[in-house]
Chain A
Amino acid sequence: MINKFVSFFTLFLITFSVQAFQSQADVEKWLARMHHAAHMINYEGNFVYGQNNDLTSMQIIHSVDKTGEYERLISLDGSGREVIRSGDTVTCVLPDKKSVVVDKSRPDAEFPPMFPLKIEQLLKTYSFHFGEDAVVAGQKAKKLVIKPKDKYRYGHSLWVDANTGLLLKDHLLDENENIVELFMFMQVKYPDVIEKSRLVSKSQTKKFTWYEAKEFKDKNNVNKSMNWRVTSVPTGFVPGVQRHHNMTVSAMPVEHFMFSDGLSSVSVFVEKKMKSSKNLIGGSTMGAVHAYGREVGDYHVTVVGEVPHATVKMIADSVEHVKH
């Protein structure tokens, strides 16, 4: 009798864990599909983007071939602003400033891009479940709900095109389930071919002032020894890139630390205080992005990330000087 009970119980446990495993595998499959679709298929459409109390409308055209990704993002709100990505070059067309800015993305960017998520890591700090299927922008969509297990990160409701895997709608939610940032396609198409001519700006850019950044040459500054350290981060955040960086906003080289829990990331910047420059003291919010600044002796620490206030404050408060 006991034997029977034990074997029944074991069977129950196995069934249960297989189910859990399957749903975990499902979640991973959908996240991977989303990532693949965002980078590796042709799509175009109009979407709205909102934060705080404002919405803006934009158009996106994304194409991909053997040579890489091409993308044109166009504001539909009158400014005529565009961001065009072609390979590793990012071109910002700013008609309102009569300027064009050409920049390089990070030097080690890969094509095709690697899927950066590990479900085991995510499960430490988030729980996942599928919501009710819906229709977004006329497409059948799978809803994936991502809930944080603590107050140190935002939750997501994601609606993913059931056929293509493209993210059609995204709600970024705070701990009270208020939407802090949103994104939604109104209309989307998946053309087989996108003419190259549609991936260049229609603005009269010849009349604008062009600014071209020189090649990224910070490679040697990555992961060299740091004079500062971050002693406390919320569970699940792991260190990423560490580098000494010369930034346009600061005369002095800045120490830059990245942390990520897989879905959200935080940057820590430490620089020597200069009389001429002013820094953030305390907290600030920009939609989903929070920042927190504090002084440590002659230095200033600023923490920025698409995470709640509690996270940037906790990390900023834990920064200390390394005594070599």
Chain B
Amino acid sequence: MNDKTDKLSALMDGELRDADNVLDNLEKDESMKQAWQRYHLARDAIKGQLSDFPTLDVSAAVSESLKSEPVILTPIWQRMNPRFVMKQVAGLAVAAAVGTIAVLSVQQAQLTTTDNNTIAKANTQPAKTQLASTPAQIRQVSFTTRKKLDAAVESKLSGYLVNHNEFSNSVRVSGVMPYTRIVGYVPAASSKQVNNDK
């Protein structure tokens, strides 16, 4: 069992050479399958801590799981390599920061469905409303996803985007564009937080 979970841990950390072999076992072995799912749940919990998506209450799912399987879950947390946890969290935070763009696409999709409440919420800042109604407004791209993307898919896309930006060799003329995309986002949830702090 220890050897198996070590391998699972290595697999998640991306440090395993014969990944295919472990994956085959994973398909057959029910206990490993469950452990794998819990690893992911644990990782999602880390993600949930920094997530931009308030609807994605992974922590609740984790505590539910803790209630039902306290004996099994505890050792998994201990087993998790702290270095690995750190790496995941760091990457995810950046992803969450960039997630901005992904979130914007959702908001845009909501706006195009002409939900009046959503529009009102999106335009809480008067300056923004004014700008949006000027003739020089930025036109929406004709291709839009009409339905809201799954939070997990959003998060994944953000991660891809971070990696894309990191390795993109195009000038993006000024070179600041990728980071501009990160900084430029004011999440609705966070403004509430700021108010609470005051």
Contacts and interface: CB of A to CB of B under 8 A. Distances in A.
Interface of A: 31, 34-35, 38-39, 49-56, 58, 60, 71, 73-75, 77-79, 81-83, 85, 90, 92, 94-97, 99, 101-103, 105-106, 113, 116-117, 156, 158, 166-167, 170, 174, 176, 178-180, 182-183, 211-214, 240-241, 245-253, 256, 258, 260, 262-265, 267, 269, 272, 276-280, 282-287, 289-291, 302, 304-306, 309
B198 interface: no
Contacts of B108: 52-53, 285
Contacts of A113: 175
A245 B91 CA distance: 13
A51 B138 contact: yes
A246 B183 contact: no
B12 interface: yes
Interface in B57-86: 83, 86
A116 B171 CA distance: 7
Given A53-B108, A90-B179, A247-B159, 12 more contacts: A53-B111, A81-B185, A211-B89, A251-B12, A263-B171, A280-B156, A284-B105, A285-B108, A286-B157, A302-B157, A304-B157, A304-B161
Contact of B143 (A55, A272, A283): A283
B93 to A, nearest CB: 4
Given A247-B159, A305-B164, A56 B23 contact: no
Given A99-B93, A285-B144, A170 B173 contact: yes
Given A52-B141, A258-B169, A283-B145, A248 B157 contact: no
Contacts of A82: 183
Nearest to A144: B173
Contact of A58 (B12, B13, B92, B184): B184
Nearest to B159: A249
Contact of B23 (A49, A101, A272): A272
Nearest to A117: B171
A82 B90 CA distance: 16
Contacts of B139: 178-179
Nearest to B156: A249
Interface of B: 11-15, 19, 23, 36-37, 39-40, 50, 83, 86-97, 101-102, 104-105, 108, 111, 128, 131-132, 137-145, 149-150, 152-153, 155-161, 163-164, 166-177, 179-187, 190-191, 193-194
A38 B174 contact: yes
Given A54-B128, A260-B168, A96 B194 contact: yes
A94 B100 CA distance: 12
Contacts of A53: 108, 111, 132, 137-138, 140
Contacts of B137: 53
B190 to A, nearest CB: 3
8 contacts: A52-B108, A97-B50, A248-B95, A249-B156, A249-B158, A251-B39, A262-B170, A267-B160
Contact of B138 (A50, A78, A97, A284): A50
